[in-house]
Structure 1
Amino acid sequence: MSDDTPTPDQAPGAPHPRETAQLFGQSAAEEAFLGAYTSDRLHHGWLLTGPQGVGKATLAWRIARFLLATPPADEGGLFGAPPPPTLLEIDPEHPVSHRILAGAEPGLAAITRSLNDQGRLRAEIVVDDIRKLGRFFGLSSADGGRRVVIVDSADEMNVSAANALLKMLEEPPARTTLLLISHQPSRLLPTIRSRCRTLRLSPLSATDMQAALAQAGTELPANPDHLAALASGSVGAALRLINLGGLELYAELIGILGTLPRLDRQRALRLAESAAQRGAAEKFELLLTLIDVALARLARTGATGQPPAPEAAPGEAQTLSRLASDPQRGRKWAEVAATITARARHGQAVNLDPAALVLDTVFKMQETASWGT
């Protein structure tokens, strides 16, 4: 991969988690880990879970930096044991911080999807990626110091890799902490989950989201409430929306919904053609995600009697209220959401023309909007 290509454990448009100075909105998870550390109940395996893009990888790298830079209490030296740490924060000028930034910390191993023999990124973490840890443990055992392993993400391990990691969790090397990042813990082997202590991270508040985006050097949109509504507390999702024009895309989708049940066909055609442009694969994938979001918000409006707040696009509340004016219509939108999602994903799997797939989806939404009229 070229130097400017994000690695598998890095959100596009964001700094790598090892370079992220601060973690916002996850003080409960940090305090839980620190409490285990200071009470001498440090588990050898930790499962960091929660929605994608809320800071799990950043927390893992913070924990790794903390463990490798903090001497155990029984190594206090001439002046006795230092007071128990109250923060995971490590001085950026600390030698461990410098070595981690340079990718040269001997006590740390990071496992992600690797390149195959053709130089392409694999779709999963394979057993050879996990087996490399055997050499890491052998080389780093001589100094007797701590060792930390980060697996990002553990969901991407194939069966052989998962079984190899399970053996390490069953018989962990001395003074080793394994940090497993998981967006979908249900995909992991139950035996892996049972051998780890879980730290669950929560979606960020609008304030924490803005702080995290500012740290990433990202300019906030004109209406940050729209971004907060669509990103659902995920910095990773927010960056994707900003970088791919997702706010404008969703606003156009809501505009088209606003013409239903009559449907502005020219507008729908333009939306479909934009998804079919050369090099627009990421934008097409985002559009399908935004359609899922719009359908979910329609179903919620019908079920609760009021549109979700805040709005995610100009005029959204009025459009949702009109199209999902009662619980029956809300149920209808919920039913069609499952159908549309299945049809869209099947169309992707068989390489259906993106423009045709988008139009098919819009026509299905028009049919639903006409129901009962």
Structure 2
Amino acid sequence: MSAADALPEPDRAGDAPHPRETERLFGQEAAEAAFLEAWNGGRMHHGWLLTGPRGVGKATLAWRIARFLLCDPPAQTDSLDPPPDHPALPRIRALSEPGLMLLRRAWDEKKKRLQAQITVEEARKLGGFFAMSSGGRRVVIVDAADELNPNAANAILKLLEEPPAQATLLLVSHQPARLLPTIRSRCRVLRLAPLPHDALVAAIAQAGGDPAGAELAEGSVGAALALAEGGAEIYAELTALFARAPMDRARARKLAESCAGRAGTDRLQMVLDAVDRLLYRAARAGLLGPGDGAEAEVLARLSPHDAAARDWARLAQEIGDRAGHARAVNVDPVAIVWDALARIDAQARKT
């Protein structure tokens, strides 16, 4: 294994197979059918925006589409499956296919960590890619478009406005509302929904995960894998913090400080995912009731009516925006988590 092969991949979920290595996509037949309808009808768009919650298969679908397009697809077909012996397949898996480029956060050799955003320096490599692959179909996967810094986003916008011949851009986006409106307007949208239970369990098994986290996963394979690898314990700690108001500040500080330093990078994402999960479930509880999960009593206290549901939904957007900006400018992870917890505490005191 080379040094490059050993670097962490920002578009891989934990120890699960990378989306380019995932053979099957479960539960997203409608999105696949929409793409095939465009292909069969000769209405292929040059830009596609794949949206939906984290972990529902957006990147896996992007790679399925890339394999389909780069393996000499017929003009009419009912499947995205490429010929199993096509010579481009091993090159795609090895990221050595000349017609394919993956744009993602790069490794910062100086700081020995992944960069917080996709930089314009990375986006500028697209110019060389299109210059070197002037013949045949070209595919670019951007995973995730939400991580483009402003200059990189403008570089992608220029490509969408003036697309090279036979180019297809596949933009994976967990939160498309944060993208430039001009980017959204120049892409055709494929919306992927949370997976139904049976598809979720099958997808978790394919990823080599434990279905124990399926109940809290809200139809997301990525969430289920994270929950089974420590995320469930973090979520339980988070809900315990808000079992009564005010929160235990010493306990909250301990949770925030667990995200400190380089070793806390993965934990920071898990804590922010837990925060997002709690806010989502609180908003839903105010509309539909708290359900019968382990945190039902906490949700009932936090969100007893629809007005509270709206407050939690607004807070989820606010905290997500603040955390995303703070991470982009390298704010201390402890401060990011503490800010989120303090805002939840302030809202909890109002209900």
TM-score, normalised via structure 1 length: 0.76
Q: Runs of 4+ in structure 1 displaced over 6 angstroms? A: 346-350
Q: Highest CA radius of gyration, 1 or 2?
A: 1
Q: State yes or no: 1:19 paired with 2:21.
A: yes
| 1:55-204 matches, cutoff 5 A | 55-73=57-75, 84-116=76-108, 118=110, 120-141=113-134, 144-204=135-195
* 1:214 matched residue in structure 2: 205
Compute the RMSD of aligned alpha carbons: 3.8
Contact 2:117 2:148 in 1 (8 A): yes
1:307 partner amino acid: P
Measure the CA separation in 2 of the matches of 1:280 and 1:160.
28
TM-aligned CA distance change 1:114 to 1:71, over 3 Å: same
1:86 CA displacement: 0.7
Contact 2:319 2:340 in 1 (8 A): no
Partner of residue 273 from structure 1, selected from 240, 245, 254 = 254
* 2:236 matched residue in structure 1: 251
Measure the CA separation in 2 of the matches of 1:196 and 1:339.
24
1:213 CA displacement: 1.1
Measure the CA separation in 1 of the matches of 2:87 and 2:220.
31
* 1:327 matched residue in structure 2: 305
Query: Percent of aligned positions with the same letter in both sequences?
Result: 49
2:195 partner amino acid: L
* 1:78 matched residue in structure 2: none
TM-aligned CA distance change 1:287 to 1:133, over 3 Å: closer
TM-aligned CA distance change 1:325 to 1:353, over 3 Å: closer
Partner of residue 240 from structure 1, selected from 210, 216, 226 = 226
1:308 partner amino acid: G
Contact 2:104 2:143 in 1 (8 A): yes
Q: State yes or no: 1:205 paired with 2:196.
A: yes
Q: Once structures 1 and 2 are overlaid, which stretch shifts more, 331-340 or 193-202?
A: 331-340
TM-score, normalised via structure 2 length: 0.80
Measure the CA separation in 2 of the matches of 1:66 and 1:211.
23
Contact 1:276 1:284 in 2 (8 A): no
Q: Which blocks of at least 5 consecutive residues in structure 1 are unaligned? A: 74-83
TM-aligned CA distance change 1:276 to 1:205, over 3 Å: same
Measure the CA separation in 1 of the matches of 2:29 and 2:187.
20
| 1:293-304 matches, cutoff 5 A | 293-298=277-282, 300-304=284-288
1:93 partner amino acid: D
TM-aligned CA distance change 1:307 to 1:103, over 3 Å: same
Measure the CA separation in 2 of the matches of 1:286 and 1:169.
33
1:284 CA displacement: 5.0
Measure the CA separation in 1 of the matches of 2:145 and 2:188.
14
Contact 2:211 2:224 in 1 (8 A): no
1:351 CA displacement: 4.3
TM-aligned CA distance change 1:45 to 1:256, over 3 Å: closer
| 1:347-362 matches, cutoff 5 A | 351=332, 357=338, 361=342
Measure the CA separation in 2 of the matches of 1:302 and 1:98.
50
1:60 CA displacement: 0.8
TM-aligned CA distance change 1:113 to 1:284, over 3 Å: closer
Q: Once structures 1 and 2 are overlaid, which stretch shifts more, 113-122 or 92-101?
A: 113-122
Corresponding residue SS for 2:169? strand
Corresponding residue SS for 2:182? helix
* 2:215 matched residue in structure 1: 228
Q: Which blocks of at least 5 consecutive residues in structure 2 are unaligned? A: none
